[in-house]
Structure 1
Amino acid sequence: MIREKKIAEFMEEFASKSPTPGGGSAAALSGALGAVSTCMVASLTVGKDDYADVQEEMEELIDATTQLKEDYLDLVNEDMEVFGEYMDALQMPKETDEEKELRDKTMKKASIEATEVPFTMAKKSVDILKQAVIAAKKGNSHAVSDAGVGAIEAWAALEAAELNVNINLAFMSDEEYVAEKRKAMEELKAEAKELKEEVLKITNEKIG
């Protein structure tokens, strides 16, 4: 899986005609990069005398972003798995009424799972951005640009995840689920945008 691959191998698979990894995996990888970039700021802060008053907070930030990185790597694998399940559902027979009913039921379940994975990525992007705000405000000022990079990567992950959510919703007939998920996605994006802009404002002000 993703942890066992070299970056070059992953990129080659991505560029090939193989259906996975795809856009969902790209979103998750961007999120993981956002997490580790934010973590880097805290790592460069811990142990510095000038930042003695934020040591505990930075250690907590390291723990949080390390876990987020792990979560995102898991989501790369989950994205590929749920896409495979959806493709399998598409290939199910549909000759009889019973077969059609089972296929429709299986596809609906697979579609929801394929939507929930990128939606989870979007939620975790917000979590990264919250950590990036702390890193930008209180972390080592010499590494503040990395907090900005973390925010940009997290925002990219969210926007990429949103596209994957939306393309799945476009083919769903459950209007209530679609409306609920679109509303939740809009709310996440609005929150994420504010956080991203806050991080970049702090970052650019400190850079000068």
Structure 2
Amino acid sequence: MQGDALDQARPRGSAHPGLLEEGRLKDPDCLKGKTIEAYLDELASAAPTPGGGSAAALVAALAASLGLMVVAVGGKRGDEPRLSEIATHLRDLRASFLQLASEDEEAFRGVLASYRLPKDDLKREGLIEISLQEAAAVPIRLAEGCIALLDRLIELAPLSPRQIASDVGAACHLARGAIDSALLNVIANIAYMHDNAAIAKLKEQRSRLSSLSAEMAERAVSLVIDRIG
């Protein structure tokens, strides 16, 4: 991105670099210790963070939590030990999603800081490029984590108690939504990058993850419907 282009089209949000000077960017640990209402109020505010990337990561964490609930109920019914392994994976994924919510905000801080540099600074364009690549890498990691989540949900669907199998399906749809949102943020950052090799790699990753998530979500929901019916 050149010159004042950030004023017309800002990647991953509506923040202006000057907001850093006003001290409006909060610490990137955006979820720890917060109530749902407090987070939603921040999300609804004019502050630059949290934004769509953070929200997508939270949605992924909700999906993992739904899976954990199903495991907890299934475990009480004396189902097979595979549920314990699934639960371990789901807990790890949930923790990683919450971390990615913070990393998304931190990455955006980096983008804003890069654009704040004086326009005659010879390092400015390079630092902007680096910050945009880092900002695009976070949603890629989120999408990859959601693919792993869908894999666990596919495994969980036939093991789930019939009465709450629909919760596995809800988790699948949430995971797919988180992936789609994350990959949209990848596109938003690519739009302002200039490194053709980095752009090509990110586009390939985005396309692969999008196709894979569609296939896996469809399979998972099909298994849920079979379990219900």
Q: TM-score, normalised by structure 2?
A: 0.84
**Does 1:38 pair with 2:67?**
yes
Correspondence for 2:86: 61
**Does 1:173 pair with 2:198?**
no
User: What secondary structure, in the 3-state scheme, does the structure 2 residue paired with 1:46 have?
Assistant: helix
Select 2:221's aligned residue among 180, 187, 200.
200
Task: Among all aligned residue pairs of Structure 1 and Structure 2, give the percentage whose two residues are the same amino acid.
Answer: 29
Correspondence for 1:143: 164
Structure number with the bigger relative contact order (C-alpha 8 A, sep ≥ 6) is 1
2:102 partner amino acid:
N
- Which consecutive residues of structure 1, in runs of 5 or more, have no partner in the other structure? none
- Does the Cα contact within 8 Å between 1:158 and 1:189 map onto a contact in 2? yes
- How far apart are 1:68 and its partner, in Å? 0.5
**Across the two proteins, how many residue pairs are aligned to each other?**
200
Correspondence for 2:119: 94
Matches within 5 A, 1:11-90: 11-49=40-78, 51=79, 54=80, 56-90=81-115
- How far apart are 1:170 and its partner, in Å? 1.0
1:109 partner amino acid:
I
Deviations 1:19-64 (A, max 9, x none): 1000101110111111111121111111323x2xx2x210011110
- Does the Cα contact within 8 Å between 2:158 and 2:227 map onto a contact in 1? no
Matches within 5 A, 1:151-190: 151-190=172-211
User: What secondary structure, in the 3-state scheme, does the structure 1 residue paired with 2:32 have?
Assistant: helix
Taking the aligned partners of 2:192 and 2:143, their CA distance within structure 1 comes to 20
- How far apart are 1:141 and its partner, in Å? 2.2
Q: Which has the higher helix share?
A: 1
1:133 partner amino acid:
I
Taking the aligned partners of 2:227 and 2:76, their CA distance within structure 1 comes to 21
